[in-house]
């Protein structure tokens, strides 16, 4: 269920925009920076393998500096 709707009735695009997974434990070869992991959490509004928009990059940098 996702928002009280059977997930199997939803489009793949809708599910991709509303569901995310962040593993609690990563293998030793995990080579992503914190900023890259945050970028992975941005809802996919563009095609595969496209970089985050400039606005998203600015926001990520701002919030990383605040912690």
Residue 6: the pLDDT is 93
Q: Do residues 44 and 17 lie in contact, with contact meaning Cβ atoms separated by under 8 Å?
A: yes
Domain boundaries, the chain: 7-65
Q: Does this model's pTM top 0.85?
A: no
Distance CA 12, CA 17 (A): 9
pLDDT score, position 27: 67
- Per-residue pLDDT band for 10 (boundaries 50, 70, 90) equals very high
Please give the C-alpha separations between residue 45 and each of 2, 15, 50, in angstroms, as whole numbers: 19, 12, 10
Q: How far apart are CA 19 and CA 32, in angstroms?
A: 20
Convert the pLDDT of each residue in 18-57 to its tens digit. 887 777 876 666 778 888 877 777 766 666 666 667 787 8
């Amino acid at each position: 269920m996702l928002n009280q709707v059977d997930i199997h009735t939803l489009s793949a695009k809708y599910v991709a925009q509303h569901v995310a997974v962040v593993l609690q434990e990563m293998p030793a070869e995990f080579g992503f920076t914190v900023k890259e992991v945050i970028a992975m959490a941005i809802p996919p509004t563009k095609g595969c393998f496209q970089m985050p928009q400039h606005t998203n990059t600015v926001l990520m940098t701002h919030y990383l500096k605040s912690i």
